[in-house]
């Protein structure tokens, strides 16, 4: 069996670290295992009526939120906390959208129309590629610019406004999460200087005396706690949209356990 030093996080010996981390944070992982099962049951129980765009999109977003949650856990239990924060950022984005759309049906068309802006951004990115790459893949600017002009005409004709993350957070009633957690997680996603300190022995960027790498769970609770809270919020929003779920009481029981856990850790 290849060692951690030889294969890093891809070594089969990472299974030993997973067991170790789950034992050390057994209360968190017990909660996670329980709410993950409830999340799976809720997702598979959803049957949005045909033609009900709001419930269809919210159902899809909940599936994405749940898979992001599972991704966070998979990384966190391996001691890949920095990487887990990046996935947590994606989970937060999806939660903003899912909760906002569950509360405001009129956002559905705005959410769909925003794809026009995303398409223009994507095509402008292609146009900005170096000429040799575009030549290699036979990409021409003329056709792309024509498509951009057509999409922009549709945007102007319908007076479509871009849908921002901050706006969705506000509509979800989660603006404090945007102003705090979203900002902090952005540092991990974009690899800012402060987020790189975990790899240094003495936070001196001019010299590396010892590169710290490998499984590390020193900040694990700062990833698991918000991941759990976001799943709870998303599940509540979905349940409310579908006029309640038979799982509500079970989620509430786990929510109580969650609150007891964060209270005990704070004292």
In this predicted structure, the answer to whether residue 200 has a pLDDT above a threshold of 70 is no
In this structure, the number of other CB atoms found within 10 A of the CB of residue 258 comes to 20
Query: Cα–Cα distances in Å, from 167 out to 100, 101, 112, 163?
Result: 9, 12, 15, 7
- Binning pLDDT at 50, 70 and 90, where does residue 254 land? very high
Question: What is the pLDDT of the chain when averaged over all its residues?
Answer: 89
Q: How many Å apart are CA 94 and CA 61, to the nearest integer?
A: 6
Torsion, Cα 188 193 197 203, to 10 degrees, reads -170
Average pLDDT (150-156) is 93
Average pLDDT (157-182) is 95
Q: What is residue 48's DSSP assignment?
A: P
The pLDDT value recorded for residue 214 is: 72
What are the φ and ψ backbone dihedral angles of 129, each rounded to 5 degrees? Answer: -65, 150
Query: Cα–Cα distances in Å, from 67 out to 38, 39, 62, 73, 91?
Result: 13, 10, 9, 10, 9
Residue whose token pair is 């919210």: 58
Percent of the chain with pLDDT over 90: 72
Average pLDDT (142-155) is 93
What confidence tens digit (pLDDT) does each residue in 122-138 have? 999 999 999 899 889 88
């Amino acid at each position: 069996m290849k060692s951690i030093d030889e294969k890093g996080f891809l070594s089969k010996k990472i299974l030993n670290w997973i067991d170790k981390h789950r034992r050390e944070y057994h209360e968190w992982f017990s909660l996670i295992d329980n709410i993950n099962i409830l999340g799976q049951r809720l997702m598979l129980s959803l049957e949005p009526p045909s033609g009900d765009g709001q419930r269809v999109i919210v159902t899809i977003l909940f599936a994405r939120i749940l898979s992001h949650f599972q991704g966070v856990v998979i990384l966190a239990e391996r001691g890949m906390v920095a990487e887990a924060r990046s996935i947590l950022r994606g989970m937060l984005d999806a939660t903003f959208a899912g909760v906002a759309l569950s509360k405001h049906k009129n956002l559905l068309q705005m959410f769909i129309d925003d794809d026009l802006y995303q398409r223009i951004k994507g095509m402008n990115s292609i146009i900005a590629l170096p000429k040799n790459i575009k030549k290699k893949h036979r990409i021409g600017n003329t056709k792309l610019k024509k498509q951009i002009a057509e999409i922009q005409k549709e945007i102007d004709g319908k007076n479509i406004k871009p849908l921002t993350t901050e706006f969705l957070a506000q509509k979800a009633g989660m603006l404090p999460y945007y102003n705090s957690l979203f900002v902090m997680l952005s540092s991990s996603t974009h690899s800012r200087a402060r987020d790189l300190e975990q790899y240094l022995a003495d936070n001196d960027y001019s010299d590396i005396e010892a590169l710290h790498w490998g499984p590390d769970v020193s900040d694990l609770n700062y990833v698991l706690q918000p991941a759990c809270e976001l799943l709870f919020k998303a599940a509540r929003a979905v349940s409310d949209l579908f006029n309640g779920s038979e799982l509500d009481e079970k989620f509430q029981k786990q929510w109580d356990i969650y609150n007891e856990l964060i209270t005990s850790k704070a004292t």
